[in-house]
Structure 1
């Protein structure tokens, strides 16, 4: 029996998620339009992406560069011209050249070496990459990312890299039973973003990527 969702189920789920986002934003005094829902499409077939696209979803996240590029090409063939692709997986240093492309945002710049290589490759390709710095706020050994201290220490170097536009920060909280337990991690990331903005006043850091796989099961 197939475990893939039907097109109607995808439509219904998207509507429910957007309703939750709107309610949460209003409780926090935020404009729901400021929040971007990235649908994680890794391992999902193009039929599911088509269904979500037909329902109005435009931002999709992939964690493997090879699969991402296959879907970029498939989406072009299918006429899904308004998709904004997000790279959410770890980028290996030997594969930074594969990130040169029409990506809305790269969420996983997890160390200075990767930032430097992306800058080098983007400069050579005469393109500009929009990226987020991945920060391991929780300190878990299983997580990738800068520490808060290392981001502060090399902020000037990071923001000076050519062909990179640092748009904000990303983190992954621990997988815990109670959602409230993740709030200190997310709060710490926002505070770090504010610190970096003070340290680098010319930098615009509008994005915080803090979505989790089990947010909307």
Structure 2
């Protein structure tokens, strides 16, 4: 283990946590209501181990096979939570259902049905967040939700997912457009929060508590707008290695 790397990551974690606390207190929130996911996607195993040694417990992956390989390699590490935060192809639903603690990026009924089937076969349940595209970008996944006037269009699918017995919806996730000025992301975070409130009124028996939003470039704004999960990679671990394949 590279002790200097562990110290560097620990310092970065403390910096991020301090900024989370400051942003939360600024708007009257309990800092403990915000959970930090350290994004380890595309990072080599020595970096992941150093992050764990530095105190990271919630780890975020975006690619199913890569994430599963890390989960298996680190199965003896106690107290870890593995969060799938990237797009999931429906043909890889089984990998997610069998290995991850939470899915942040459920973006369609086809994936939901396949997940529910695999979970049912193994007697498991999986907490999930529904992904919404609040920025209107064609390159982003999720239900299109940039226009509040269109929100009623996806209600039938949401209702169908809520009826699946092995999926536990716990909130919403989004990835807004990237801006050099993080303040420009605020309307998108606010939009997701308002969408959460809209769904809470439509499906009052469901749990809509969580908002997964905010990355290294804009997480302080996300916290001010109500994020309960933020997903931080570069600000803690540095730039990722190029992904092969």
**TM-score normalised by length of structure 1:** 0.92
Which position in structure 2 is the counterpart of 1:114?
A: 111
Tell me if structure 2 keeps the 8 A contact 1:58–1:82. yes
Which position in structure 1 is the counterpart of 2:178?
A: 175
The answer as to 2:70 corresponding to 1:71 is yes
Cα deviation for residue 92 of structure 1 reads 0.6
The answer as to 2:16 corresponding to 1:17 is yes
Unaligned runs of 5+ in 1: none
Counterpart CA distance in 2 for 1:158 and 1:194 is 18
Tell me if structure 1 keeps the 8 A contact 2:7–2:54. no
Secondary structure of 2:141's match? coil
Secondary structure of 1:211's match? coil
Counterpart CA distance in 1 for 2:6 and 2:103 is 28
Cα displacement string for residues 24-53 of structure 1 (whole angstroms, at most 9, x for unaligned residues) = 110011111110100000111222222222
For the aligned residue pairs, the C-alpha RMSD in angstroms reads 1.5
Alignment of 1:4-83 (within 5 A): 6-76=5-75, 79-83=76-80
Tell me if structure 2 keeps the 8 A contact 1:129–1:164. yes
Alignment of 1:97-176 (within 5 A): 97-148=94-145, 149=151, 150-176=153-179
Tell me if structure 1 keeps the 8 A contact 2:98–2:119. no
Cα displacement string for residues 136-180 of structure 1 (whole angstroms, at most 9, x for unaligned residues) = 011110111012334334222121112000110000110111111
Tell me if structure 2 keeps the 8 A contact 1:155–1:196. no
Equivalent pairs, count: 211
| Structure 1 ranges of 4+ moved more than 6 A | none
Secondary structure of 1:140's match? coil
The answer as to 2:195 corresponding to 1:192 is yes
Cα deviation for residue 212 of structure 1 reads 2.3
Cα deviation for residue 102 of structure 1 reads 4.3
Secondary structure of 1:17's match? helix
Change (3 A) 1:213 1:26: closer
Tell me if structure 2 keeps the 8 A contact 1:22–1:32. yes
Counterpart CA distance in 1 for 2:88 and 2:216 is 19
